[in-house]
Amino acid sequence: MKRSLLGLGLIALVLCLSVTFLAGCAKKAALKDTAVVSPESKPAAAAPAKVDDAAAREKALRDQALREKAAREAAEKEAAEKAAREAAAKAAAILKELQIPDINFDYDKYNLKPLAQSILKAAAPAYLKYPQYKLVVEGHCDERGTVEYNLALGEKRAAEAAKYLVDLGIAKERIKSISYGKEMPLDKGHDEAAWAKNRRARFVIFPPVK
């Protein structure tokens, strides 16, 4: 009887120890699994992805800024070139409007003939329209006569044309006169046809200084 009770007690003790051992192993396994998925371990794995995303966004913004800058500079360049072309075209149109054909004089004379007067009358409105432009009137002669005589005659021709333009309303300070006498012939021939061309006043336009 005592042996039976002792045997039963040993069996019960072994079972208790077995249950305790198995429970302890299960608890350790659960703790190990918990440690693997604990919140503290997750950020370390996710951190590189966040850094890569931030770098990609920064690069995208930088590239976009460069593209916008390039587009802006191209637009500014195109606008500047267009403005320059328009300004050049406008200046050329004004110069064309201000052109005055040569006027001619009779031999040894400096008075303005009717045709010369009509040419200057037609030219005056443009100079009144663009007061910032100035004018130089050149006096020229044919080859006959001395250098000194022709310089004086050329000056009278230039002065007479300038005075007529002033009388038409153009400010005197905008017009200068100069004589080249017989030194700059338009036609280098030695006959009446060439001489008639060389007895002239020539008009040179001076744009405003920028």
How high is the pLDDT of residue 1? 52
For the cut 50, the answer to whether the pLDDT of residue 178 exceeds it is yes
Per-residue pLDDT, averaged over 109-136, amounts to 97
How high is the pLDDT of residue 2? 46
For the cut 50, the answer to whether the pLDDT of residue 202 exceeds it is yes
Which tens digits make up the pLDDT trace of 17-56? 554 544 454 445 444 444 444 444 555 555 566 778 888 8
Percentage, residues of the chain above pLDDT 90: 66
Per-residue pLDDT, averaged over 68-77, amounts to 91
Of the ranges 93-102, 152-161, 201-210, which one carries the lowest mean pLDDT score?
201-210
**Cβ(70)–Cβ(186) below 8 Å:** no
Range list of H helices, 37-177: 42-98, 114-129, 147-167
Long-range contacts (CB closer than 8 Å, 24 or more residues apart) made by 34-43: none
How high is the pLDDT of residue 79? 92
For the cut 70, the answer to whether the pLDDT of residue 165 exceeds it is yes
Query: How high does pLDDT run on average in the chain?
Result: 84
Q: How many angstroms separate the CA atoms of 62 and 55, rounded?
A: 10
Q: Where is pLDDT greater, at 33 or 99?
A: 99
How high is the pLDDT of residue 55? 86
Q: How many angstroms separate the CA atoms of 79 and 69, rounded?
A: 15
Neighbours of 101 (CB within 10 A): 14
Of the ranges 3-12, 60-69, 146-155, which one carries the lowest mean pLDDT score?
3-12
Q: How many angstroms separate the CA atoms of 154 and 183, rounded?
A: 10
How high is the pLDDT of residue 209? 77
Per-residue pLDDT, averaged over 114-140, amounts to 97
Percentage, residues of the chain above pLDDT 70: 77
Residue 104 pairs in a beta bridge with 200
